[in-house]
Amino acid sequence: MIEDIFSIDLRVSEKLYIKRNRHLPENRKTDRRISIVSGIHGDELEGQMVCFLLNEFLNEHRDRIRGIIDIYPSINSIGIDSIVRNVPPTDVDLNRVFPGSPDGSLPERIAHAVVEAVKGSDIAIDIHSSNIFLVEIPQIRISEENAETLLPLAEKLNVDFIWVHGAVTVLKSTFAHTMNSLGTKTLVVEMGVGMRITQEYCYQLFDGIINLLVEEGFLDWEVKKPVRKPIISTGGTVHFLNAEAPGIFIQTARHGNWVKKGQQIGRVVSPLTGEVVHDVVSPANGFLFTLREYPVVYQGSLLARIYEEQNG
């Protein structure tokens, strides 16, 4: 069932819609509801394929649905249509204006409408895909204050890594923070890279969402393959590697692998002089879960993130 959750006239003959696909259980009365959300950032498209796979699966297996499953593929729909991250024409990051306001700016009104629509869900999954600069292994990011309630859910999603953030780094104006404070257990997935579809990751997360739907009672289905056991960041250290000089970044290590202390991750080079301006090496034995994809770097640009386990 396709429904509009928000619509507004933009200019002459142009209208903005935000839509969801609601899958209702047959012959059963239930208030249990899960919301799967994507496209808050218009340049992050991995979630488009995941939403397609889910809608396709649920269309084919209507008789197996046991709770309300709402899928919102494109929250920043005009951003996706215009291939930009923020909400055009305002250039505002939608994930910095939650919970929004019913009579504020366009981004605030969109945020408000999304909160009103998702509010009351038991669980929400917010799918992001990094940005055009960095590629991320499928991972879930949760804040320390919510770790106790969210970790058991996150472990069901078939991701490789769960990054539990310290309280100081939590942004209060995000969709996830707003929904968690309203009582909807909300998980943020980051995977892949902006403006691309990494099919392998999309299938991996699709399997994870199906597993979570089954384990949480939204779907009657037999999951044949057990989900991955993720690395969980609590207790360890996340190392950030930044460029020491501007240039072109050339990867040498493979993303999503364990690396050794002193191992080369990549090189920042000068195409003009032929020099290596920064030999990028790992500061620790750890898991390379973020890697620079877009080659042009400035001094200070993020090149990689490596997770070092305790006593690693």
Please report, as residue ranges, which positions from 146 to 205 form the binding site for Zn ion (by CB under 5 A). Answer: none
Please report, as residue ranges, which positions from 204 to 263 form the binding site for Zn ion (by CB under 5 A). Answer: none
Give the C-alpha separation, 41 to 93, whole Å: 7
Q: Which of 33, 128, 278, 305 binds Zn ion (CB under 5 A)?
A: 128
- Comparison of 192 and 247: residue with beta carbon closer to Zn ion: 192
Tokens in use for 284?
Answer: 């620790």
Q: Which of 41, 141, 185, 255 binds Zn ion (CB under 5 A)?
A: 41
Stretch that binds Zn ion, among 111-119, 121-129, 211-219, 270-278 (CB under 5 A): 121-129
Supply angle C-alpha 294, 299, 304, rounded to 5: 50
Give the C-alpha separation, 273 to 217, whole Å: 61
- 78 residue type, one letter: I
Give 19: exposed, middle or buried? Use CB within 10 Å, 0-12, 13-18, 19+: middle
C-alpha of 162 from chain center: 12
Q: Is 23 helix (H, G, I), strand (E, B) or coil?
A: strand
Stretch that binds Zn ion, among 24-32, 125-133, 215-223, 287-295 (CB under 5 A): 125-133
- Comparison of 163 and 218: residue with beta carbon closer to Zn ion: 163
Under a CB-based contact definition with an 8 Å cutoff, are residues 136 and 191 in contact? yes
- Comparison of 20 and 41: residue with beta carbon closer to Zn ion: 41
- Comparison of 86 and 204: residue with beta carbon closer to Zn ion: 86
Which residue in 238, 58, 236 sits closest to 137, CA to CA? 238
Q: In this structure, is the dihedral angle defined by the CA atoms of residues 276, 281, 283 and 288, taken in order, positive or negative?
A: positive
- Comparison of 191 and 269: residue with beta carbon closer to Zn ion: 191
Stretch that binds Zn ion, among 37-45, 74-82, 146-154, 208-216 (CB under 5 A): 37-45
Tokens in use for 137?
Answer: 């292994």
Query: Strand 15-23 relative to strand 68-72: parallel, antiparallel, unpaired?
Result: antiparallel
Which residue in 252, 256, 259, 257 sits closest to 283, CA to CA? 259
Tokens in use for 310?
Answer: 């305790």
- Comparison of 112 and 128: residue with beta carbon closer to Zn ion: 128
From residue 151, alpha-carbon distances to 110, 180, 227, 257 in Å are 29, 13, 15, 23
CB of 31 to Zn ion, least distance (A): 30
CB of 134 to Zn ion, least distance (A): 11
Stretch that binds Zn ion, among 124-132, 169-177, 218-226, 273-281 (CB under 5 A): 124-132
CB of 37 to Zn ion, least distance (A): 11
Stretch that binds Zn ion, among 36-44, 110-118, 168-176, 237-245 (CB under 5 A): 36-44
In the complex, which residue's CB is closest to Zn ion? 128
CB of 201 to Zn ion, least distance (A): 14
- Comparison of 44 and 136: residue with beta carbon closer to Zn ion: 44
Per CB under 5 A, 141 contacts Zn ion: no
Which residues contact Zn ion (rule: CB under 5 A)? 41, 44, 128
